Amino acid sequence: MIDAYVLTTAGKPLEKRSLPTPSPNDGEVLVEIEACGLCHTDLAFASGEVTPRHALPLVLGHEIVGRVVVAGSKHQDLAGRRVLVPAVLPCGDCDFCRAGRGNACPKQKMPGNDIDGGFATHVLAPGGPLVVLDDLPVTLDARHLSVVADAVSTAYQATRRAGLAKGDVAFVIGAGGVGGYTIQIARARGARVIALDISPANLALVNAHGAEKTVLVAGRVPKEVRKEVHRVATDWGISSLRYRIFECSGTTQGQALAYGLLAPAAVMVQAGYCAATVELRLSNIMAFDATIHGTWGCPPEVYPDVLRLIYSGAVVLAPFIEFAPMSRVNEVLADMAHHRLGKRVVFDPRA
């Protein structure tokens, strides 16, 4: 049997249950979970704001690191190895996957959405997309890497979608979570970074980890913010052709602000998510000859590039993470709902 915290009814606390230990088929593996990160998507599912694709009951959680304890016949090479379970598990064999767009694969599986996820002691997953961690430096805590499964890899994919290059300016709206890692990755790729957030604490943290300029936007008029940050880019000698705007807050206010920063030939990437709608004048895209991309997860084959940035120290994880026992999952979800979390929480399923 495995222990799991299960969403049985949206809007109700997760229930701790003992479930039968799943047996892998030929293409699957059973992973004993060392750590699982908490994402706002988990809160959206738990609260009922968003409906998961799998019918309830469902085990949430999609930022998973652990060790393979049972492997199907096709993945015997993974037995006993520590792995990262990507948040997006593509099929690996469709037109999307062959084109390098596996994160948009129509057959993809997402733990905690399409299949049971990581708020448990074990998880069953397809073996093909898993990322082995054999070369993990001894100086790194493997549990920290759980956030790579979504927050860090999504941030990296956002910079890829934007075509971010050395000498660009990255405007990052939302400096916590995905935004904090987007800031570090953008700096590592040679961009100059302006971080925008409503939280002084978030800005103070990223000021020490990649942001060259921080802007507190709480209570400010978007047009005023636009003038300030565009002026900074101009003073740096960077034209709007090299503006790369990343919306990572997952709020309507952040989305409107990001859109308002568009300028001639600029590129915007929408990385955050919220269920609410926002009113925008789409003609701005035409008038500015601008480009807007969506981004969802990250193709598993790109993960080695993400890990290299972490292993080299160019991207740090520990300052942005706090640990909690899985037994406190409902309490932590409530803290997230009431904006009481300062860092990304990583759960220990054994506690």
Write out pLDDT tens, residues 79-121: 999 999 999 999 999 999 999 999 999 999 999 999 999 999 9
Report the distance separating Cα 272 and Cα 174, nearest Å: 9
Q: What average pLDDT score do residues 158-172 get?
A: 98
Residue spans of beta strands (DSSP E) within the chain: 2-7, 15-19, 28-37, 58-59, 63-71, 82-85, 122-126, 131-132, 169-173, 192-197, 213-216, 243-247, 267-270, 291-294, 321-325, 344-348
Q: Write down the domain spans for the chain.
A: 2-150+298-348, 152-294
Looking only at the bridges linking them, the beta strands covering 2-7 and 344-348 are unpaired
Q: What average pLDDT score do residues 68-88 get?
A: 98
Report the distance separating Cα 326 and Cα 342, nearest Å: 18
| Per-residue pLDDT, 21 | 96
Q: Could you tell me the pTM of the whole model?
A: 0.96
| Per-residue pLDDT, 303 | 97
Which residue from 75, 77, 95, 62 is spatially nearest to 25, judged by alpha carbons? 75
User: Which residues pair with residue 344 across a beta bridge?
Assistant: 321
Q: What is the largest CA-CA distance in the chain?
A: 61
| Per-residue pLDDT, 236 | 98
State in words which class domain 2-150+298-348 has: alpha beta
Report the distance separating Cα 83 and Cα 87, nearest Å: 13
Over the stretch 292-307, which tens digit does the pLDDT of each residue have? 999 999 999 999 999 9
Which residue from 312, 320, 321, 324 is spatially nearest to 137, judged by alpha carbons? 312
152-294: CATH homologous superfamily? NAD(P)-binding Rossmann-like Domain (3.40.50.720)
| Per-residue pLDDT, 306 | 98
| Per-residue pLDDT, 345 | 97
| Per-residue pLDDT, 254 | 97
Q: What average pLDDT score do residues 123-145 get?
A: 96
Q: What average pLDDT score do residues 284-288 get?
A: 97
Q: What average pLDDT score do residues 322-350 get?
A: 96
Over the stretch 228-258, which tens digit does the pLDDT of each residue have? 999 999 999 999 999 999 999 999 999 999 9
User: Which residues pair with residue 285 across a beta bridge?
Assistant: none
| Share above pLDDT 70 across residues of the chain, in percent, rounded to a whole number | 100
Which residue from 86, 212, 92, 210 is spatially nearest to 152, judged by alpha carbons? 86
Report the distance separating Cα 327 and Cα 75, nearest Å: 32
